[in-house]
Amino acid sequence: MSKRPATNHKPLSLIRPHLGELHAYVPGEQPQIKGLIKLNTNENPYPPSPKVLAAVQASVDGRLRLYPNPTAQALREQLATLHGCRPENILVGNGSDEVLALATRAFVEPKRGASSLKRATVQYFTPSYSLYPVLADIHGALKNVVALNPDFTLPHVAELKRSRAWDFQAALTFVTTPNAPSGRGYATAELETLCRAQKGVVILDEAYVDFAEENALALALKYPHVLVARTFSKAYSLCFQRVGYFVGHADLIAALDKIRDSYNVNGLGQIAAVATLDDLKYYRANFQKIIATREKLSRELTALGFRVLPSQTNFILARPPAFPAEAWLQKLRDQKILVRWFSTPTVREFLRITIGTPAEATALVTAARKICASRPPAE
């Protein structure tokens, strides 16, 4: 360590200057604490289907030395059948995070060198998925950030036009639907009105849509500038394998396909995703269990004095009673329950709680009751 470097390169001077100020995405914690009830990162509490596990296990042999299919062909064909489109309408990525990043690179000009600033703008509502600003910043794009209504519903297009803050020309607009971290679902009709008003690409990020009443997939097949992003992570218990995809117009998909890494989707992930699509019945039963647990947990926390927002996802956003949300985070952690708290002003009074198994939900309610009872009596 004390040796003088062999050359006088200054490593920091070698890095693109705008990365100096970049705030990286902050993932939820993955602590290794025995017995911890982990309700902080919206993972599915149920394991993948036994058929998926068997398919992955059967593939772990000498073939790992081979490259996987470069276009995830079998998976794209199955997804096309599922969604009533062609494989040319599907792009698979290393998680949907990768396809969101590819879209930023394909559709947005970095602000320096952009012929028009419109082409350099990434736009999204707040609060929504906290990866969007990171993708814009990495790319050197402009950000246009507009608040959702205070109850996390979507502002009407007429209001967006009146307020003038929203950019109908933005090169890329991200909409998390259903919304995270609020859990709010949006009607396809209102999403369609918004899409029709946008001149640039619109991405409907449907990471949680399997827990919702409606999905907007039809818009991706109807409008050439609309892409729907889906993931196997949350609803299909496959976070570990990193598989997500876009559905959209073949021309947009072809552009994204040009710039992706040739082997962006790992082989075991492709196998797991194909096996998942072969056993959708298993997953649909899990969605129903999670939705039932979500509704019961919402009622029980409401009875304890929480303000629970309506959710169409596998998590709830809830404002706890008696103590500030940040204090609740620690108090629950002391009882080995991990939830998520965001310091963002619009949600800092809330906890985001992933829906676990019925037993985990019961443990949470028991812990919450104890915490409420520990409140010093009012004077």
List residues near ligand PLP by CB under 6 A. 95-97, 129, 176, 180, 205, 207, 231, 233-234, 239, 244
Closest to ligand PLP by CB, 265 vs 368, is 265
Q: What is the DSSP string of 190-232?
A: HHHHHHHH-SSEEEEE-TTGGGSS---HHHHHH-TTEEEEEES
Query: In whole angstroms, what is the distance from residue 290 CA to residue 236 CA?
Result: 12
Q: How far is the CB of 234 from ligand PLP (least distance, A)?
A: 6
Closest to ligand PLP by CB, 203 vs 308, is 203
- Contact between 265 and 94 under an 8 Å Cβ cutoff? The reply is yes
Closest to ligand PLP by CB, 205 vs 210, is 205
Q: How far is the CB of 199 from ligand PLP (least distance, A)?
A: 24
Closest to ligand PLP by CB, 109 vs 205, is 205
Closest to ligand PLP by CB, 290 vs 368, is 290
Query: In whole angstroms, what is the distance from residue 8 CA to residue 346 CA?
Result: 47
Residues paired with residue 244 on neighbouring β-strands, in sequence order = 93, 231
- Contact between 342 and 23 under an 8 Å Cβ cutoff? The reply is no
- Contact between 182 and 127 under an 8 Å Cβ cutoff? The reply is yes
Q: How far is the CB of 186 from ligand PLP (least distance, A)?
A: 13
Element of type H or E holding 135: helix 131-139
Residue least distant from ligand PLP (Cβ): 95
Query: In whole angstroms, what is the distance from residue 87 CA to residue 101 CA?
Result: 21
Q: How far is the CB of 208 from ligand PLP (least distance, A)?
A: 7
- Contact between 147 and 123 under an 8 Å Cβ cutoff? The reply is no
Q: How far is the CB of 147 from ligand PLP (least distance, A)?
A: 18
How crowded is residue 215: how many other Cβ atoms within 10 Å of its Cβ? 18
The sign of the CA dihedral 155, 161, 166, 172 is: positive
Residues paired with residue 227 on neighbouring β-strands, in sequence order = 203
Query: In whole angstroms, what is the distance from residue 367 CA to residue 209 CA?
Result: 29
Q: How far is the CB of 239 from ligand PLP (least distance, A)?
A: 6
- Contact between 51 and 279 under an 8 Å Cβ cutoff? The reply is yes
Question: In the structure encoding, which two tokens stand for residue 184, read together?
Answer: 């709010």
Closest to ligand PLP by CB, 95 vs 133, is 95
Closest to ligand PLP by CB, 98 vs 109, is 98
Q: How far is the CB of 224 from ligand PLP (least distance, A)?
A: 22
Question: In the structure encoding, which two tokens stand for residue 293, read together?
Answer: 């647990």
Closest to ligand PLP by CB, 240 vs 327, is 240
Q: How far is the CB of 28 from ligand PLP (least distance, A)?
A: 10
Closest to ligand PLP by CB, 97 vs 300, is 97
Residues paired with residue 236 on neighbouring β-strands, in sequence order = none
